[in-house]
Amino acid sequence: DFGRTRLLDEALDPLADGMIRLRIDRFALTANNITYAGVGDLLGYWDFFPGPEGWGRPPAWGFATVVQSNATGVFEGSRFYGYFPIGEALDVVPARASPRGFVDSASHRRAKAAVYNHYLNTQADPVYEAAFEPEQAIFRPLYGTGWWAADCVHQGKPSPRTVVFSSASSKTALATAHQLRRLGEARLIALTSARNVAYVRETGLYHDTLPYEAVASITTEAPAVYLDFLGREGQTAAVHRALGANLVRSILIGATDWGSKPGGVRPPSVALTGPKPEFFFVPDYATVRMKADASLGAAMLADLKSFCTASRAFVTARRLVGTDAILEAWARLAAGETPP
- pLDDT tens readout for residues 285-339: 999 999 999 999 999 999 999 999 999 999 999 999 999 999 999 999 998 888 8
Give the per-residue pLDDT at 35.
83
Give the per-residue pLDDT at 239.
95
Listed in sequence order, the residues at least 6 apart from 338 whose beta carbon sits closer than 8 Å to its beta carbon are: 31, 329, 332
What band does 263 get if pLDDT is binned at 50, 70 and 90?
very low
Q: Determine the Cα–Cα distance for residues 146 and 179; give it in Å rounded to an integer.
A: 8
Listed in sequence order, the residues at least 6 apart from 285 whose beta carbon sits closer than 8 Å to its beta carbon are: 148, 152
- Return the SS3 of 141: helix
**Quick one: three-class SS letters along 186-230?**
CEEEEEECHHHHHHHHHHCCCCEEEEHHHHHHCCCCCCEEEEECC
Q: Which residues of 158-189 are buried (b: 16+ CB within 10 A; e: fewer)?
A: eebbbbbbbbbbbbbbbbbbbbbbeeeebbbb
- Return the SS3 of 333: helix
Amino acid at 275: P
Q: Determine the Cα–Cα distance for residues 255 and 326; give it in Å rounded to an integer.
A: 23
Give the per-residue pLDDT at 108.
93
- pLDDT tens readout for residues 106-158: 999 998 888 899 999 999 999 999 999 999 999 998 999 999 999 999 999 98
Give the per-residue pLDDT at 254.
78
Contact present, 209 and 168 (Cβ < 8 Å): yes
- pLDDT tens readout for residues 1-47: 888 999 999 999 999 999 999 999 999 999 889 888 888 888 899 99
- Separation in Å, CA 223 to CA 154, 244, 247: 12, 11, 6
